[in-house]
């Protein structure tokens, strides 16, 4: 009996470790995305403000080192989360059937998060590659890229998907790890929805600012 239970015990232990790593990497990315959005949106105040912030990160080497590090955390988080995402059609069909049958809001949130993760993996990787291979970051350079047309549409898709994914992740971390009690869940969800809409609004205002920013 002891031999048959050993593999299950080890598997359970490693699943727990990977769940913790998934939570920590997810929380780190949530914090990064909120800070990133606020820093980029400084262009709304002034292009010089954004340039000064970007120059600080590049002069201290934080952009050159931090950028690849964030990308590594990004990929690690996806690999850890992918353990629970069905990639085969029959698995996906089963998940959708269960979600429809259970009619549980949090289950649908997980479905939205899983689907958005696939899109963000591709689009987010493209975004980071384009930015990190074209340093230094400047307001004029970012504006020129967005005013090209393609990138405006690109970010109009990536922005809400990312903020939606981040917001759901923030909520699910709070609920899953016991930071949010059942009696406070609905209130916390409303706050998370408000926060998500706020960051989407900030992102859209920032995009509009880039669209009308002089690049000369």
Two tokens, residue 97: 């059937």
CA proximity to 113, closest of 82, 69, 155: 82
- Alpha-carbon distance of 109 to 77, in angstroms, equals 18
Tokens of 181: 């009690």
Answer yes or no: is 98 a known binding residue. no
State the maximum Cα–Cα separation within the chain, in Å, rounded to a whole number: 75
Q: Tell me if 77 is assigned to a ligand binding site.
A: yes
What whole-number distance in Å separates Cα of residue 111 and Cα of residue 99?
A: 8
DSSP state for residue 114 in the 8-state scheme: H
The reply, when asked if residue 165 is annotated as ligand binding, is: yes
> Which residues belong to the annotated binding site for heme b?
36, 77, 127, 165
Binding residues: 36, 77, 127, 165
């Amino acid at each position: 009996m002891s031999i048959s239970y050993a593999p299950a015990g080890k598997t359970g232990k490693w699943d727990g470790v990977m769940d913790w790593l998934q939570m920590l990497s997810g929380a780190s990315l949530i914090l990064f995305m909120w800070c990133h959005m606020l820093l980029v949106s400084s262009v709304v105040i002034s292009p010089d403000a954004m340039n000064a912030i970007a120059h600080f990160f590049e002069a201290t080497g934080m952009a050159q080192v931090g950028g690849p590090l964030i990308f590594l955390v990004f990929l690690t988080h996806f690999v850890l989360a992918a353990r629970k995402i069905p990639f085969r059609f029959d698995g996906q069909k089963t998940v959708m059937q269960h979600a429809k049958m259970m009619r549980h809001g949090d289950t649908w949130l997980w479905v939205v998060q899983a689907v958005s993760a696939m899109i963000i993996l591709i689009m987010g990787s493209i975004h980071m590659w384009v930015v990190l291979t074209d340093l230094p970051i400047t307001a004029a350079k970012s504006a020129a890229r967005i005013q090209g047309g393609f990138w405006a549409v690109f970010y109009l898709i990536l922005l809400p998907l990312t903020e939606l994914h981040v917001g759901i992740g923030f909520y699910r971390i709070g609920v899953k790890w016991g930071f949010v009690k059942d009696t406070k869940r609905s209130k916390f969800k409303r706050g998370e929805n408000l926060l998500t809409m706020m960051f989407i609004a900030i992102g859209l205002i920032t995009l509009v600012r880039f669209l009308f920013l002089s690049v000369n």
